[in-house]
Amino acid sequence: MTADLFACFPAVRASREQMAEGAVLLRDFVGRTEAALIAALREIVAAAPFRRMHTPGGHQMSVAMTNCGTAGWVTDRSGYRYRPDDPETGKPWPAMPSLLRELAGRAAESGGFSNFAPDVCLINRYVPGARMSLHQDKDELDFTAPIVSVSLGLPAIFMFGGLKRTDKPGRFRLEHGDVAVWGGPSRLYYHGVAPLAEGNHPVMGPQRLNLTFRKIR
As a whole number of angstroms, the distance between CA 2 and CA 36 comes to 14
Of 111, 104, 106, nearest to 25 by C-alpha is: 111
As a whole number of angstroms, the distance between CA 52 and CA 50 comes to 7
At residue 120, φ and ψ (nearest 5 deg) are: -135, 155
Residues in the chain: 217
* pLDDT recorded at residue 142: 85
State the amino acid at position 75 in one-letter form: T
* pLDDT recorded at residue 14: 56
Q: Are 197 and 162 in contact (CB under 8 A)?
A: no
Across the chain, which has 217 residues, the per-10-residue mean pLDDT values are 37 76 97 96 98 95 98 95 96 98 98 97 98 96 95 98 97 98 98 98 97 96
* pLDDT recorded at residue 50: 98
As a whole number of angstroms, the distance between CA 33 and CA 148 comes to 16
Domains, in order of start, for the chain: 3-8+17-214 (2.60.120.590)
Please report which residue ranges of the chain form alpha helices under DSSP H.
34-47, 98-110
